[in-house]
Structure 1
Amino acid sequence: MLLDDLLKSSDRLVAADADVEGARNSLEVARGGWYPTLTPTVNYGYEKQNKPSFSQDTAAYRNEYSASLKQLVWDFGATNASIDKAAATHQQSQSVRDGTRQSLMLEALSAYTNLVRTLQQLKYARDSEANIRKQTGLEEAKVDLGSGLSSDVLQAKTQLAGAQANRIQAEFSLAQAQNRFRNVFNKPMQDAKSMVLPKVPVDMLPATLADALVTARANSPSIKAASFAVEAARSQMEATRAQGFMPKVEAVGEARNKRNVGGTMGTQQEFLAKVEVSMPFNLGFTAVNSLKASESSVVSSERRLAEGRDQIEEQVGNAWENYMHQKARAEMLKNQANLANEFLELARKERSLGNRSLIDVLAGETALIGAQSQAASAQADVVIASYTVLAVIGALEPPAVR
């Protein structure tokens, strides 16, 4: 299926997946703060010492092998806050990926639907041109036989010129739709005859605008991403406070094997176990500035979340109203096409009885084809509007398209 292939190969979605994987690895890095750190050290060289009087000078090749094991005991929440921030960032990247996928699906559905629309419009335009050309030829034949009117022929040719212009415009629209289709799917249209208008996912659409708003507040990827951004900012603030104003307590174990080191000839071993408390303090009071900066980040992320919620409500309202509008419009245009068809049938009967002119029939045929084209185009608008509703409420998933 086109959509399945697109979701597997889209550069945009592959990039979003890579962001998620990168955030997951960053989370593992943050969790590593609770794991011990082993630091082995090896050195080899030549050491010479000129000692004070009555002490023997030394000169020899020296080597030292050491290993230090350091384990965090407590840092007053700094590491845990860093883990929480990384987890929130990971969830944020997943929400962004979900939003990217739904946006890509909506683009794909719109490109496909618009291509089907332009194919239908071109068919109607060609049918209209062919029909008017045929009627014009018949009227010219009548004029040659002395039973037709030259004015009707001129009127028919005028209608034909308009139909040709419509057909040229439809061909241009089709070319644009094909280019858009190729850009989205990374492949040209394969078989125009197999392309049909997607169905409106009635069963998956919310029943009312209120239901749509409730679903959007709970499922919107952009709202989720903004919420996780707030969590990440708050966790960063806690980590900054602990790192800047609280000490770090670590357990340290060291072992050394030394030979000819420090003027002591021969081999010796050293073992050390201790608890170390450290608290770096910048005399420029940067810890205060860092905390204020992280507090400002919390405020900004919370305000963006509030703005995002307002924007989502506006988008849902607009998408819902557009869907209802397009449904009503499509129904009216479908009814118009039915009425145009009834008029044309009646006009043809009256024409055969001599009560209608050729121009009346041509006008009726042109009106019918135009109404059918508009009705088909309106149905395409309904399809796009319905999937737009699903996208803005965060419910546009592949099963909705099946």
Structure 2
Amino acid sequence: MVGRAGSVGHVGRRVLRSGIGVAAAICLGFAAVPAQAEALPEALAKAYQSNPQLNAERARQRATDENVPQALAGYRPQIVASLSAGLQSVRDLLPNNTIQTANLKPWTIGITVTQTLFNGFKTANSVRVAEFQVRAGREALRNVGQGVLLDAVTAYTNVLANQSLVEAQRTNVTFLRETLGIVQKRLNAGDVTPTDTAQAEARLNRGLADLNSAEVNFAISQATYAQVIGNPPSRLSPAEPVDRYLPRSRDEATGLAFKSHPAVLAAGFDVDVATTSINVAESSLLPTITLQGNASRSRDSDPTLGTFATDQASVIGQMTAPIYDGGTAASQTRQAKEISAQSRLVLDQVRNQARTAATGAWVAHEGAKIAVSASESEVRAAGVALQGVQKEATGGQRTTIDVLNSQQELTSAKARLIGAQRDRVIASYTLLSAIGKLDVKTLGLNTPDYLPEVHYHQVRDAWHGLRTPSGQ
């Protein structure tokens, strides 16, 4: 029995040294920092620049900007040119019963300029609606940016965590293989029973299955990383929480989320859009005043006419007032009022959701701190326990299964620590997102911040042109 315990103890000392070494590396941040490793801020900058979802949202916002010049067009004159020309065959019967025929080529050219002077304030309110839509879209874009950065943090930390899990499982499999080899030799020597061999073999197969699962998860996390960041992961450096940017209390977190989260601000602007749309609908019930100028020239070669050319010019003022349109404008006004009421209820809902999300993020962040501390203590205790089991096995007080179980507990403790450290980083960024501060400026990323107002000012007062500011 002493010889058996001594053999197991030799293996136990080897795995203890490797297990404690891996645990120490995990506690320092998943793994050692390799040369020229890609840090989390660099990955976030790449995602901010090239993520398809975020770029698509930016394109949507640029399209929303065009609502403003379209609304402003109501202040500007409308100019229409016209040209008509053709062939005309004429057959005239004269009083003396003679017939006169002619082939004519009449043509007319003209230009009409129409300027709206008053349309029930529809243009002014339409411009306000368009500007509120732009501001709501900017907040929606900022919210999508937060989501993309949080996805990038999650993808980055998942790669680190799964890579560490693979290394921990490989260490475990190495130990189990060595243990099985020693037990089989001792079985041949008659020192142990087949039960010991079966236990070691079962534990090895379990370790191989765990290693396979860890490798699968690692491959999936690498693919997700490439999707979110834009390139496959190479060597990644440890990720750190962003506690320095976080609020100091739960009340401060919920207050910031309630007031400044982009989803809340976007919903507030949606209320402004809906409220102003009521005025747009009511404008259809008011009179419209327009001024129209027209100039034309026509030519006609009909010999029976007294004139062969006509030049005309006119300036006409017109006022139209709706009397009854079948109830369309009234229905549209009532509809706009209901939509306004709905948008206010949605704003209340979004505020409550933001407050709840901030509370949840705060609690999860505090819990993640405790989980990391507890997992670190568990790894240290599991290492000490493995060392104690190994010593007791040397004295014949422990069996092979005791050492195997102690090793399994250490491996499980390391896996929980890896997960806790990953959750700790993600929780800090989640809380930063919940208060609406997960952006390039707050994080100080080395990338230009996308400023949607630049495109807005480029197109707002554009009177003509088909090309976008980007040249397309």
Report if TM-score (shorter chain) is over 0.5: yes
The letter for the 2-side match of 1:251 is L
Partner of 2:64: 23
Counterpart AA for 2:365: Y
Measure the CA separation in 2 of the matches of 1:50 and 1:21. 62
Are positions 1:156 and 2:186 aligned together?
A: no
- SS of residue paired to 2:110: strand
**Secondary structure, in 3 states, of the residue corresponding to 1:388?**
helix
Matched, 1:129 2:170: no
Write out per-residue CA displacement over residues 288-310 of structure 1, whole angstroms, 9 at most, x where no aligned residue: 11111111111111111111111
Q: Which one-letter code corresponds to 2:295 in the other structure? A: A
- Equivalent positions of 1:242-321 (< 5 A) are 242=283, 244-260=284-300, 265-321=307-363
Aligned match for 1:240, one of 263, 281, 289: 281
Give the Cα separation in 1 of the matches to 2:196 and 2:247: 54
Using the TM superposition, give the Cα deviation of residue 260 of structure 1 relative to its aligned residue in structure 2, in angstroms. 4.3
Paired residue for 2:434?
Answer: 392
**1:252-311 deviation line (CA, Å, top 9, x unaligned):** 322233444995514443332343222344441211111111111111111111111112
- Provide the rounded CA distance (Å) in 1 between the counterparts of 2:225 and 2:178: 34
TM-score, normalised relative to structure 1: 0.87
CA contact (8 A) 1:124 1:370 kept: no
Q: Is the 8 A contact 1:63 1:261 kept in 2?
A: no
| 1:354 Cα offset (Å) | 5.0
Mark the CA change 1:342 to 1:285 in structure 2 (over 3 Å): closer, same or farther.
Answer: same
**Distance across 2 between alignment mates of 1:258 and 1:153:** 109
Superposition RMSD in Å: 3.1
User: Which residue among 205, 229, 232 is the counterpart of 2:246?
Assistant: 205
User: How far 1:161 sits from its partner (Å)?
Assistant: 3.3
What is the count of residue pairs matched by the alignment? 395
Q: CA-to-partner distance for each residue in 1:233-258, whole Å, 9 max, x for gaps?
A: 1121101101x211122233222334
Q: Cα 1:172–1:45, aligned 2, differ >3 Å: closer, same or farther?
A: closer
Given the alignment, which residue of 415, 418, 431 partners 1:373? 415
TM-fit CA distance, 1:328: 1.1
Deviates more, 1:360-369 or 1:335-344: 360-369
Q: How does 1:321-340 map to 2 (within 5 A)?
A: 321-340=363-382
CA contact (8 A) 1:201 1:401 kept: no
1:148-187 matches, within 5 Å, as 152-185=196-229, 187=231
1:270 partner SS: strand
Q: Tell me the SS of whatever aligns to 2:315.
A: strand
- Structure 2 residue aligned with 1:92, among 116, 130, 136? 136
What per-residue deviation string (whole Å, max 9, x for no partner) do you get for residues 157-214 of structure 1? 3433332332233233323333433443455x443xx124421111112211212122
Cα drift, residue 71 of structure 1: 2.0
Distance in 1 between the 2:370 and 2:419 partners?
13
Percent identity, aligned pairs only? 22
State the secondary structure of the residue aligned to 1:396: coil
Instruction: Determine the structure 2 residue equivalent to 1:80.
Output: 124
CA separation of 1:283 and 1:167: change in aligned 2, threshold 3 A = closer
Partner of 1:228: 269
The letter for the 2-side match of 1:400 is L
TM value normalised by structure 2: 0.75
User: Closer, same or farther in 2 for the Cα pair 1:258/1:152, shift >3 Å?
Assistant: closer
Q: 1:92 to 1:354 in 2, by over 3 A?
A: same
Name the residue aligned to 2:156. 112
Give the Cα separation in 1 of the matches to 2:356 and 2:260. Answer: 16
CA positional deviation for 1:372: 1.6
Moved more, 331-340 or 107-116: 107-116
CA separation in 2, counterparts of 1:10 and 1:169? 29
Return the offset for 1:339. 1.4
| 8 A contact 2:225–2:233 mirrored in 1 | no
How far apart, in 2, do the equivalents of 1:141 and 1:368 lie?
Answer: 26
User: What's the counterpart of residue 457 of structure 2?
Assistant: none
- Show structure 2 runs of 5+ residues with no match: 1-41, 446-472
Contact 1:64 1:261 (8 Å CA) reproduced: no
Kindly state the Cα deviation for residue 223 of structure 1 after the two structures are TM-superposed: 1.6
Answering whether residue 57 of structure 2 is matched by residue 13 of structure 1, we say no
Task: Give the gaps of 5 or more residues in structure 1.
Answer: none
What secondary structure does 1:265 align onto?
coil
- Farther-moved stretch of structure 1 (353-362 vs 75-84): 353-362
